[in-house]
Structure 1
Amino acid sequence: MTPAELSRTVLATVRRAVEADELSLAGPVPERVVVRRPPRPGCGDYATNVALQLAPLTGVAPLTVADVISRRLAAAPGIARVDVAAPGFLNITLQGDSHGALVDLVRAQGSRYGIGEHPVALAPPPTGEPRADAYAAALRRLHAATGVEPPARRPHPVRQTRDELLRTLGADATAWALLRPPAEDAPRTDPAAHLPQREANPLFLVRYAHARSRALLRGARDLGLAPGPAAGSPEPAEAELLGLIADFPRTVEAAARHGAPDRVARLLEHTADASLRCHDACPALPKGEEKPSAVHGARLALADAAGTVLANGLTLLGISAPRHL
């Protein structure tokens, strides 16, 4: 279950509670409900403040609203448990098979996961200012991916010309340098910040994590091992990575809605970090005399899904995702 699907489930639960007169609202049901990863471990897979949002419309305490919603939401398909936390948050734990279903969804959709095919208007003529043109191209890709037309943004310009940036950084590092900072921040265009082949360089980290996921699949084929279905509950490192994979479509939509491609870049950095930590904590390939098992197949499928998210996010930013580095 993705955050977008869970958001729709929570919203449908609120509507059913209103229809059943369990909640009385002095106004319409909100059109959107936000669900997010909880700020610390042990608080479920997702959290929502919908009860706090609705309390002023009901005239009762947020905890009372949360209790009403939690009872109904806990019975929804794909949800294992809903806990209420003060002052009115709902902490939602998904059923174990929801994680496997998410990985299956990402692997089935491949390059389409989080990226739709919506028509957009013809591209405006270039302005000649490298960052403004890079932003315009990225916002068009976000528009095409989500159908949401981003607001016009005025990014902080750079002093170099596009040709100068391409000569010193190359196309991929130029795109990253111009799109990674928020629009109002001045971008760093120093080659020392974007070209070193080490994990301290965020662009290299993201592309390395993608290439490593593809290397795992090649290594598995050599061992006669293939990605397989989920095997048991995810380990903490796997759960963290699964949450980021699930967040990708919502992040892409938010990036389009706010005209902020830097949101995609930040998610890619977090996903790359989590992917590499997951590889260390939960190896996808057997070691030494260890025999391949269903656990290895499940971990390979997760690595494949993570690589797909990294590739799709880089594509949205106009950056290549090589399989070999």
Structure 2
Amino acid sequence: MHRIGFLLSDGFQIMALAPQSVFEYANMTAGEAFYTLENFSVAGGEVRSSLGVAVGTRSLRGKIDVDTWIVAGVNDPLSSPPPEKILAFLRKGGSRARRIAGICTGAFVLAEAGLLAERRATTHWAYGREMQKRFPDIRVEEDRIYIVDGPVWTSAGMTAGLDLALAMVEKDLGAEIARSVAHKLVMHQRRAGGQSQHSEMLDLAPKSDRIQNALNYARQNLSRSLTVEELAETVHLSPRQFSRVFTLETGQSPAKAIEKLRLEAARLMIEQSRHPLDVIARETGFRDRRHLREAFVRGFGLPPQAVRRDARMD
């Protein structure tokens, strides 16, 4: 039996409770109640989320036997500092647990408690730089889905908590059960911890269906050369008109946007597969592995081998 305690405070973000479904379905898949879950707060009783939903909790007083603590985040950790009693409890009780996790801005609570000192950690991308500024002794990696550093786990915002929970299930019960849970929850896959929090397709955010369709076509045909002429033809525009509209809507030239899509696709293949770099380069439209490496260093500040190594460590 593995006991999981969710630590909540007033104003917690309701998505922090979503990972409970991962553990619930892990029990169903395993055919036994491997996990037991309970919500905790300083005083116990009802705690309200930022949306106003009331959740019953058990107080932190008395004897508490928990194997994994999961600390919920809030919408704005800068204006909602964690209660001192929670920090004191984590400093004392956190070391007795097998592991402790901060979901989204819950990482700020772990940081305030001193549990992230000299460790790698992540949080919601919007607060990564502020975390690094406030806690210079933490190695903040603001563009990661989740990070595991010893017994301390941290995740990015919102849905990344599901990936963190699935990773815990995989560690506890094996990859096959984790895959089955992801399938039951209609999750496309368990994203690797080293995967970027960002999607280039979302960042480009074109305003018209025409440019969106051109980007969809590009993403589905990254192994091709993808000239402006070819992309323009797919959406029935002249090359000159296509380039003008594309740049106006996305803020980037077609060539720059396509390179970012290639980099994103290559990064996913590097993190999630064992394909040789020559194969990945060919599948994502780079001339060769040298061209791939140059693009990675320019785009991420790291060579492909380092990205693969970091993904294996998570």
Q: TM-score, normalised by structure 1?
A: 0.29
Select the structure that is richer in helix: 1
Structure with more relative contact order (C-alpha pairs < 8 Å, separation 6 or more) = 1
Select the structure that is richer in strand: 2
